[in-house]
Chain A
Amino acid sequence: AQRVTQPEKLLSVFKGAPVELKCNYSYSGSPELFWYVQYSRQRLQLLLRHISRESIKGFTADLNKGETSFHLKKPFAQEEDSAMYYCALSGLRGTSYGKLTFGQGTILTVHP
């Protein structure tokens, strides 16, 4: 079974502070990990994926297979980063190809 855990429901930081949103996963095969973001009154959209190894809006995430984690980090948070963040997993070349399993989400609030 595949499972994604985001231990923090709410996270508050001040503008300019570093932020880390935690994500742990459980999957028996080779997973592909994603971060999706939902800004206020907008749709879910892909922020980044581990395969791309890119930085989007200053965010990065590294897949740590030993710790089964995919934490999202940004060194200097901005007010416009305030949103709901979802970590998600898909099976790579497995039977759950395409199916996304989501964590429960973390609401990030960046205070001025």
Chain B
Amino acid sequence: NAGVTQTPKFRILKIGQSMTLQCTQDMNHNYMYWYRQDPGMGLKLIYYSVGAGITDKGEVPNGYNVSRSTTEDFPLRLELAAPSQTSVYFCASSYPASGTNYGYTFGSGTRLTVV
């Protein structure tokens, strides 16, 4: 059981480049989330999805886009990368009710540097 898988683990982007961070879960979770963690800070919600075909903005959505075509996949797209997007990105998933009692299952993160 792989849980939540994120790829790549590390990436260096030049300013203005674009990329997609991949996230896949094999637990049949309805809910999926993208968070970013800046140094010394907590996790900030970028986008989330409550099911295939449904996405919504979180606290810091600017500069990002998402799609949810299947239950398993929730890719995060960065268009026109900026140094402010240098961060560690975490994908997470949960069942609708289990997020309250059992928390989220997180991936191991993607460390992105924009230079």
Co-assembled chains A and B = no
Query: Which residues of chain A have a CB within 8 Å of any CB of chain B?
Result: none
